[in-house]
Structure 1
């Protein structure tokens, strides 16, 4: 089974990977900028977007999906860019097969385990799914009203609602596989399988207002990625590519073109 993807641009290969509950659409603003310099393959990770659903979901498996797509597209070597969960997938690809990776650009995530950050989000998503199952709602606006009981931030709800779409039966449904994500959530918040120190040139790009990369993560980063450096995007949080797209895109392009 191959991941769903889009491909744009020309030049050296770059593969983009989105975060949890997202899809390749989330990184279109990055893809568009990179496509002026690179061949950009923007993917839906398993259990997300239009990619296949599966009960297994961990970083070695998701990394293997990306490597399989590279094989299918005959991409020998590529730059990898990943946000949040997608950043961990990118790191895991480098751990599995460093020879397939040119450079790594990791957006606001570290190679560490995280405590649960999505309890209210998952509760809201499950409440919507239950309402859909029992035909209590028929629109995104009705779904938003339910989610608002669990998720205060309008921007987060709007992001999540992008994945609420009509299925093959013309009924609204989550495109991501909520059941599998919930079942494997502890594996998603876990660290990557860091078996050695990866020598890939790696850039960790942090949103200044985000707490996903902290000073205490420095040792874990340098132990797993010995050629790592950091860039801080001021005035941005975890969704730095959406909040400060020009700064983030420029940072990625400058790093990949070094």
Structure 2
């Protein structure tokens, strides 16, 4: 089973919330968000396959990831609300479409069920370029990454997946590189999820475009859309308080 970080149980009648991170992330990245939400409900954050402390596999498809999430939900006793960001949002959508019996409500953070043209392989190459034998602290890795990735925020994000003591990445870079076309795409699934669904996006992001709405509504007929002002694709990290407030407001007003 996937590695999980269990923030709970909360002593409430609210259903538990499963948080699913995006590419190159981990459940640990969502610790602050999970803690802010956990007084009102049990919150469980996962490390997806080939990420964090979860097992490594030779494949990384959305069907794989959805099956992993289904195993976690079943292990904890049944249905959950599910929130997924980016790649995690796609995995959460596939779970809802294929196993609607396991999902109460769905929150999709800044991603649509479509194929994207951008590539992430350059970031994999940047991480591969780091001479881990010369890394004794995360700042050492950031300094090396700077030659390829000038954005200090991204440097910090990537090095959170670095095991400094073991001098290894907690990312299966070879498989993520090979499976990148599948990660950028979205599988052809004929199902529909009839439960409440929120597509929450950063106002400065173009990941969920107006032309995507027809496809979204076809698969998620109860979809609602909201944006967080001043946020981009990493809306939960850029505007954490607003992100939590948006989730809590929607969860409190959307009927199960």
Q: TM-score, normalised by structure 2?
A: 0.93
User: Whole-Å Cα distance in 2 between the matches of residues 163 and 192 of structure 1?
Assistant: 27
Residue from 175, 179, 189 that aligns with 2:170? 175
Selected match of 2:205 from 200, 206, 210: 210
Which residues of 2 match residues 33-182 of structure 1 at below 5 A? 33-74=36-77, 76-128=78-130, 131-132=131-132, 135-166=133-164, 170-182=165-177
Residue 138 of structure 1, CA deviation: 4.2
CA drift of 1:136 comes to 4.7
> What is the CA-CA distance between 1:145 and the residue it aligns to?
2.3
- Asked if the contact 1:92/1:193 (under 8 Å) is kept, the reply is no
Count of equivalent residues: 249
Cα distance in 2 between the residues matched to 1:161 and 1:193? 34
User: How far apart, in 1, do the equivalents of 2:135 and 2:81 lie?
Assistant: 43
Separation in structure 2 between the aligned mates of residue 29 and residue 137 of structure 1, nearest angstrom: 27
Aligned to 1:3: 2
Answer yes or no: is 1:221 the counterpart of 2:216.
yes
Which of 238, 241, 245 is equivalent to 1:243?
238
Residue of structure 2 aligned with 1:196, choices 191, 198, 204: 191
Which ranges of structure 1 fall in alignment gaps of 5 or more residues?
A: none
SS at match of 1:257: helix
Corresponding residue SS for 2:211:
helix
The equivalent position to 1:13 in structure 2, one of 12, 16, 33, is 16
Q: Distance in 2 between matches of 1:216 and 1:144?
A: 37
State how far apart, in whole Å, the 2-side matches of 1:221 and 1:181 are: 26
The DSSP-based 3-state class of the residue aligned with 2:129 is helix
CA distance in 2 between partners of 1:26 and 1:83 (Å): 12
Gaps of 5+ in 2: none
- Whether contact under 8 Å (2:5, 2:44) holds in the other structure is yes
Question: After alignment, is 193-202 or 150-159 more displaced?
Answer: 193-202
2:16–2:42 Cα contact (<8 Å) kept = yes
Deviation by residue 1:26-60 (Cα, 9 ceiling, x = unmatched): 11122112111111111111011110111111001
User: Considering only aligned residues, what root-mean-square deviation do their CA atoms show, in Å?
Assistant: 1.4
